[in-house]
Amino acid sequence: MPNVIDYPKYEEYKKSWIRWQSKVKIIFKESNYMVPSNINFNFDIESYCNKIFGILSGDIESIVSSSDSWKQTIVSIIYFNLPEIKISDIKSLFVYCKDCKDSMDSTLLDSILVSLFKEDLSTCVTLCTKYNFWWLATHLADMMTYHYKFEGLKDYDCDLASWFKINYADSLGLQNDNWEIALGYISTCPDNIKESLKTELINHIPLNSEVKVKKLIQNCKKYNLKNVIIDIHKTLGMKEYNKGNYGEAIKHYMEINDSYRISFICNILMTQYIEKGDLSQLNFIDSINQKTLYNSKINFLARYKQFHELYKKKQYSKAGSLLIQLLTSEIAPKAFWSIILVDAIPLLESEQIIFNSSNTYELMRCLEEITTSHRRNEYLEALSKKVKTEQELEELINVIRIALVRNIARTNALML
């Protein structure tokens, strides 16, 4: 039997098919099946061949009698008898097949197909919803919307096509990235409902992997769901905060410019350093864009971390310059000045003069400002956590003063 894909032109296929079927019809009409006489068959070979060649020749009676269902009948007639049938003629063929086969509506799926052949789209859509064929119902309803007028459905205040899209999106579920397909369908719904529906859908998606979170945020940006992006980062930020991953939490809050939460966590990090000397949580700073350090406390922590790195590398001059910048630019909160002044002691006592007289006087000014202020207790609270008694606190402050005075003496001696 000729196959249309084997011919470059349809006309060539058509001629070949007509020639082939003519030969088959002659064999069928003459019953010239050339069955070998020296072979015994356990069935009526003549009748069997008659049935086969009847079907191949497009004989309607043979096709109908050999088909188990109306679906087989209609497909076989088109394939073997009417390969060039027009779409407009299929309905008439269906009616004929329906008359030939009685039990056509035995299943719900049969009823759906029957309604399609009858071009009864309304019935078809209704039946599809019962069979959970939401994908078919969705696209059929979309077609119907262009040809028929439906009143808005009260549940969502939308047309029929949108109602089916919403239900199809809901039926897809949230697993295996089906939510991306669901978002695509919902995004074609009317403006008055699609944003709330997309928000509701995304809020139900579990944030259980970094890859999924990135996809979610990309889709939120695609559909301009700014509030959802904020909710995602807040959720993940709180999750990391509760696990004690303060750096990761800050990164999420930085994405949405949440200054309050950033400052709150920065205060925790500074307290951790004061109590334990732990700067490990500041490693997150290395992975963020320095241009995003708009928050004053993040900016301070980044520079303070840099100070310790320079000191560890024995780049004392650079470390000293950075320490002075932290104080003079007032990037460092006054509550942390006392800690920075303690950090300055090894540099003040080093063999190499790190601070000139001007810088040393600036350090003196900072020390006097926090020790003579009416808010002295507040400014020295961080330093008081490093000692046990008030007397030890005063002794530590005197150590800072002595180191500053010695450094002034050294710088003045060099000028003589």
Q: Are 319 and 307 in contact (CB under 8 A)?
A: yes
Whether the per-residue pLDDT at 295 is higher than 60: the answer is yes
Whether the per-residue pLDDT at 148 is higher than 60: the answer is no
Whether the per-residue pLDDT at 311 is higher than 80: the answer is yes
Helices (H) and strands (E) in the chain, counts: 22, 0
Q: Select the highest-mean-pLDDT range: 16-20, 176-180, 206-210.
A: 16-20
Whether the per-residue pLDDT at 136 is higher than 80: the answer is no
DSSP β-bridge partners for residue 392: none
Distance CA 197, CA 383 (A): 53
Whether the per-residue pLDDT at 312 is higher than 80: the answer is yes
Whether the per-residue pLDDT at 79 is higher than 50: the answer is yes
- Half-sphere exposure of residue 165: CA atoms within 13 angstroms, side-chain side: 24
Greater model confidence, 174 or 76:
76
- Half-sphere exposure of residue 76: CA atoms within 13 angstroms, side-chain side: 22
Query: What is the pLDDT, as a whole number, of residue 153?
Result: 47
- The percentage of the chain sitting over the pLDDT mark of 90, rounded to a whole number, equals 25
Residue type, 357: S
Distance CA 331, CA 89 (A): 83
Our CA angle for 321, 327, 332, nearest 5°, is 120
Residue whose C-alpha is closest to residue 406's, from 366, 348, 340, 355: 348
Q: Select the highest-mean-pLDDT range: 158-167, 174-183, 268-277, 313-322.
A: 313-322
Query: What is the pLDDT, as a whole number, of residue 205?
Result: 81
Whether the per-residue pLDDT at 152 is higher than 50: the answer is no
Whether the per-residue pLDDT at 235 is higher than 80: the answer is yes
Whether the per-residue pLDDT at 298 is higher than 90: the answer is no
Neighbours of 32 (CB within 10 A): 11
Query: What is the pLDDT, as a whole number, of residue 128?
Result: 80
Whether the per-residue pLDDT at 171 is higher than 80: the answer is no
Whether the per-residue pLDDT at 137 is higher than 80: the answer is no
Compute the residue count for the chain: 416
DSSP β-bridge partners for residue 158: 153
Q: Select the highest-mean-pLDDT range: 46-55, 191-200, 309-318.
A: 309-318
- Half-sphere exposure of residue 373: CA atoms within 13 angstroms, side-chain side: 17
Our CA angle for 257, 259, 261, nearest 5°, is 110
Q: Which residue has the tokens 């024995």?
A: 314
Neighbours of 207 (CB within 10 A): 13
Query: What is the pLDDT, as a whole number, of residue 373?
Result: 92
DSSP β-bridge partners for residue 180: none
Whether the per-residue pLDDT at 23 is higher than 60: the answer is yes
Residue whose C-alpha is closest to residue 303's, from 270, 335, 276: 270
Residue whose C-alpha is closest to residue 231's, from 201, 187, 264: 201
Q: Average pLDDT of 81-103?
A: 76
Q: Average pLDDT of 275-287?
A: 77
Distance CA 307, CA 300 (A): 10
Query: How many angstroms separate the Cα of 110 from the Cα of each of 69, 91, 106?
Result: 10, 15, 7
* 16 Cβ neighbours under 8 A, 6+ residues apart: 2, 7
DSSP 8-state symbol, 175 = S
Greater model confidence, 135 or 119:
135
Q: Where are the alpha helices (DSSP H) in 329-375?
A: 337-349, 357-372
Distance CA 321, CA 318 (A): 5
Residue whose C-alpha is closest to residue 200's, from 214, 188, 182: 182
* 300 Cβ neighbours under 8 A, 6+ residues apart: 266, 326, 331, 332, 333, 336
Q: Mean pLDDT across the chain, nearest whole number?
A: 82
pTM for the model: 0.57
Q: What share of the chain is helix, strand, coil (3-state, %, to 5)?
A: 75, 0, 25
Q: Which of these ranges, 37-51, 71-85, 294-308, has the smallest mean pLDDT? A: 37-51
pLDDT tens by residue, 207-229: 888 888 898 899 888 888 888 89
* 10 Cβ neighbours under 8 A, 6+ residues apart: 4
